[in-house]
Structure 1
């Protein structure tokens, strides 16, 4: 299927539309008929623009979209870092319990706490992000998050080592003796205290994560042309892979150390991201969609010119298209609030966004998040497990790059359904392999299947979910919708993290690859939900998406329904 074949047939060419304009209908939106013509032409230009043409004419838009998406690398880094901590021998011996000769494991409750604390903080952050973004914009909200990130890393880094024991205390009655008698009371468990503080540090880091994940897909989808929305929002998943690669390389390099620096150095590496990103985003333009919603038309025009090729005439047409869509949505309600997400057709859009986000936790993704530990539980040696994790992370990056081409050729719904179905098959095969008599061959077969499942997710479900999320919400409610959708992700992830740790941990159910049965079953549910409720929004402008939802078009008919360029309802 070519890019052009997938475009809706209802788009009118600019040379035919002027004589067919319903002026009275247009004046409900704009008083200026010429402005309506510009809006028509601007939308038709976006429909006609191919992927490569859009890249050549909007290189700066691609750069700024990627920069914003790259902020997700910090959440990815920390998530994968916690997954590797529980597999580090030095960390296990410092904080774990002994389960066999020279075998240590972090208790399930502490594993879950390390994984969940950051997500709990991010849950708070995503709800803060929407109102703050509506007030000060995507750029300044993200810059604020980067400043907070720099500060909160200090907590995790400086409390990640137990403090030296306090000096012995002198009892008052010993002063009457010739030589003071030192207290023999044991010191409290400094190891538990340090783990507790590390968990607190992760929770604090999670708050700015919420800012990043709420704003990145929304900003990226608003600054690039229609044909690039899929590829640019898919870079969110690539940022996850980049974070996992850095973590895999760092923990592999330090996993043989027997002191606290085996995990302190990877923690310190988090500081390489916030400051450079802060500087870049300070120089980035604000989303013209946000500026128009705030009534700052001149700034919006300047932003469009900076994002594109600088052509003033084309920028004027794009501005008219944006203004038209924003004014159409303004007729549906006033200032956006969280309650608006639950009203009318926006409720349907909110449900789709929440389901897409939540479903990322049910199709085998948690195997990738704990890949090193999964490999160890599958019977691979610790050193080999860290090597496989590095290979796994690099392959995920390759899969992310391939997803750019998939989004250009295939629809969002098609990619999601086929990707989920593929992972369902591999997850059940993983469960079967783990159920037979275990040998070295079956151990490596489980590890390879885990890598394949991660690869499929990173090339299909992962990146396309971010695209769907950014396209589904209305422009007026986008900052709030992406935040609430991510909150649904955390609501689903927090118990799933506990379940994943319980399934893999030697002190829990110790299922290893048999967890494929569980994740395969949940992935089947995700596939069925998507088949009935997931609409196809590839090559649909935000105005067309609004109309399709307002007309209550069934999900499976979104692709074939014709929307005229003159329609405003």
Structure 2
């Protein structure tokens, strides 16, 4: 059945769609001599209106797409909850007795911990390996996300993965050994990887300029909500008895989340950009009509024209590159997985892939890995296990506050500014956290308070803004594969964090026992990230996809990205015979004229 669905939705990876019109918006080259197959004036007017809209006007005009996008992004809750639950359960007494081993703990140490199950603990190798296999599963999900979404669409891909998520929860729920937990987390990670790619891609494609910052950063809030739910649920069931259900019920909550999300995603339309790249114009029109305000035919026409205009411009800009690239035989592994991923490393898309990947890599290495391991850090700094879990609840609460505040901040400052200053502020806080290790007393509480403040700053700046930046940097044509590559870099860094962080914070034999001093390492990484941000990550706030195409095509410095710069530049070099944009000083409306004949 799945193979039949793949056949029914295929057509992008070199096969073409039987429904494709003459404009060939399904990915093949466009004849430069042919006029655009849509009203360019309407598209230009739509872009101007989106720029001139206030947030209130955009919210009113695109009310329905907000709810649809929130439903798609809600799948990130599953990942945030699942990953946080794994590490939080390591401090869960019943869980340690069920899956852990007896360790030698002196009476004084046990009394200090105040934990009657202190003689049990999860071995270090499993504390590292269980979150690690979930990340490996996510890497598999990222590998299949782009070709799957390209073939069956964002909506169908999400529904498939949500169904698999519900099925895979049975494994950890009924696990009788730590090995079964490992298998369950591996399989659960596969849908999580797909969610990481498709959620920000869908939000970026359907959102208008004014709504784009909120809908893309909502992904980070969903991650924080997942962590908050995991923290609260594990705390609620910590003293719920000695039976296995006290730790199995937190796993069962994932069935509730996935059921709600299946309904939300099933009610949402497919991304119009996906239909347009298939050449299915009427279906794209119906999808746009569902996204905008009811009975707003003019808004539908304008939004569709702008989408077609963006795709048409990208196709013409990449025509020379596509024509020079040999077409691989359809049906091979390389054609199914590799065509679009390889295109991400060619021409101007190489820079877009690099900056998107590094933006996510900076997010992964700025110390955010300390947040899910916070209970262990607090214990290493001298807090009792129960106090560590109690103060840990404040971290996702601070994250929610920070993400909500970021929506206001992103309307006042650019993405690049927030990224740069956020890294500098977090570096200072992490250095302060490390210095509290040397306090004669109270260092645990001081480190805990600093980490709460760090979490608020992280979720005010780098955490949410990263989702917005990496969603806006790729071209429309290569958005999902670029996001897949970028998120893959993030997960590789995450694998390193999962190996090194418990080693830094662990107190058993063989660990480094750094405790709060781990903050010094991440403070240095924040400084390196800030340096890269200054020179390489461009400003994307308030710019349409078409304007970003122009700026990247002309190799503008990251420090000079702006809408004014995009208007002043031609889309591409005249040698490629691409369109040249002119601005009418009288009407401020942009018109397209063919390049001069040589």
Instruction: Kindly name which structure, 1 or 2, has the bigger radius of gyration based on alpha carbons.
Output: 1
Q: Distance in 2 between matches of 1:263 and 1:531?
A: 45
CA drift of 1:563 comes to 2.2
1:360 to 354, 359, 363: 363
DSSP-derived class of the 1:337 partner? helix
Q: Report which structure shows greater RCO (CA 8 Å, sep ≥6).
A: 1
Q: Distance in 2 between matches of 1:88 and 1:516?
A: 25
Q: Distance in 2 between matches of 1:54 and 1:483?
A: 29
Kept after mapping to 1: 8 A contact 2:36/2:312: no
Residue by residue over 1:7-29, the C-alpha shift from the partner in whole angstroms, topping out at 9 and shown as x without a partner, is xxxxxxxxxxxxxxxxxxx9948
**Paired position in structure 1 for 2:265:** 281
Kept after mapping to 2: 8 A contact 1:84/1:373: no
Residue by residue over 1:36-76, the C-alpha shift from the partner in whole angstroms, topping out at 9 and shown as x without a partner, is 11111011111111222111211111111111111000110
Q: Distance in 2 between matches of 1:67 and 1:34?
A: 31
Q: Distance in 1 between matches of 2:33 and 2:210?
A: 26
Q: Which moved more, 1:28-37 or 1:261-270?
A: 28-37
**Paired position in structure 1 for 2:353:** 350
Kept after mapping to 2: 8 A contact 1:29/1:328: no
Q: Distance in 2 between matches of 1:480 and 1:538?
A: 22
DSSP-derived class of the 1:562 partner? helix
CA drift of 1:399 comes to 1.1
How many residue pairs match? The answer is 509
Kept after mapping to 2: 8 A contact 1:371/1:389: yes
1:392 to 392, 395, 407: 395
Q: Distance in 2 between matches of 1:133 and 1:567?
A: 32
Q: Distance in 2 between matches of 1:366 and 1:305?
A: 41
Residue by residue over 1:113-137, the C-alpha shift from the partner in whole angstroms, topping out at 9 and shown as x without a partner, is 1111111000010110101111111
Kept after mapping to 2: 8 A contact 1:504/1:512: yes
Kept after mapping to 1: 8 A contact 2:554/2:569: no
Residue by residue over 1:177-219, the C-alpha shift from the partner in whole angstroms, topping out at 9 and shown as x without a partner, is xxxxxxxxxxxxxxxxx11110111010000011111100010
1:293 aligns with 2:277: yes
**Paired position in structure 2 for 1:370:** 373
Q: How does 1:58-457 map to 2 (within 5 A)?
A: 58-94=62-98, 95-101=100-106, 102=110, 103=118, 104-159=120-175, 162=176, 194-256=177-239, 257-309=241-293, 310-331=295-316, 332-333=318-319, 337-437=340-440, 439=441, 441-457=442-458
Cα–Cα, structure 1 residues 55 and 96, in superposed 2: closer, same or farther, change >3 Å?
Answer: farther
Q: Distance in 2 between matches of 1:319 and 1:136?
A: 21
Kept after mapping to 1: 8 A contact 2:132/2:495: yes
DSSP-derived class of the 1:503 partner? helix
DSSP-derived class of the 2:566 partner? coil
Q: Distance in 2 between matches of 1:481 and 1:380?
A: 43
CA drift of 1:270 comes to 1.1
Kept after mapping to 2: 8 A contact 1:62/1:232: yes
Q: Distance in 1 between matches of 2:34 and 2:46?
A: 15
1:53 to 51, 57, 61: 57
Residue by residue over 1:258-314, the C-alpha shift from the partner in whole angstroms, topping out at 9 and shown as x without a partner, is 343332111111111112211221110111111111111111112112111242122
**Paired position in structure 1 for 2:10:** none
Kept after mapping to 2: 8 A contact 1:40/1:565: no
2:519 to 516, 519, 524: 516
Kept after mapping to 1: 8 A contact 2:543/2:563: no
CA drift of 1:32 comes to 5.7
Q: Distance in 2 between matches of 1:87 and 1:401?
A: 29
Q: Which moved more, 1:265-274 or 1:201-210?
A: 265-274
Tell me which stretches of 4 or more aligned residues in structure 1 moved more than 6 Å: none
Kept after mapping to 2: 8 A contact 1:430/1:446: yes
Kept after mapping to 2: 8 A contact 1:105/1:506: no
Q: Distance in 2 between matches of 1:32 and 1:396?
A: 46
Q: Distance in 1 between matches of 2:369 and 2:159?
A: 29
DSSP-derived class of the 1:273 partner? helix
Q: Distance in 2 between matches of 1:518 and 1:218?
A: 32
Q: Which moved more, 1:27-36 or 1:148-157?
A: 27-36
Cα–Cα, structure 1 residues 303 and 29, in superposed 2: closer, same or farther, change >3 Å?
Answer: farther
**Paired position in structure 2 for 1:191:** none
Kept after mapping to 2: 8 A contact 1:300/1:319: yes
CA drift of 1:97 comes to 4.2
Kept after mapping to 1: 8 A contact 2:400/2:459: yes
CA drift of 1:34 comes to 7.0
Residue by residue over 1:351-396, the C-alpha shift from the partner in whole angstroms, topping out at 9 and shown as x without a partner, is 1111111222211111111122222222222222222111221121
Query: What RMSD, in angstroms, separates the aligned Cα atoms of the two structures?
Result: 1.9
Residue by residue over 1:136-178, the C-alpha shift from the partner in whole angstroms, topping out at 9 and shown as x without a partner, is 111011111101101111111111xx3xxxxxxxxxxxxxxxx
Kept after mapping to 1: 8 A contact 2:46/2:306: yes
CA drift of 1:92 comes to 2.5
Kept after mapping to 2: 8 A contact 1:51/1:408: no
Q: How does 1:496-535 map to 2 (within 5 A)?
A: 496-507=497-508, 508-535=511-538
Cα–Cα, structure 1 residues 32 and 413, in superposed 2: closer, same or farther, change >3 Å?
Answer: closer
Q: Distance in 1 between matches of 2:171 and 2:375?
A: 25
Cα–Cα, structure 1 residues 547 and 106, in superposed 2: closer, same or farther, change >3 Å?
Answer: same
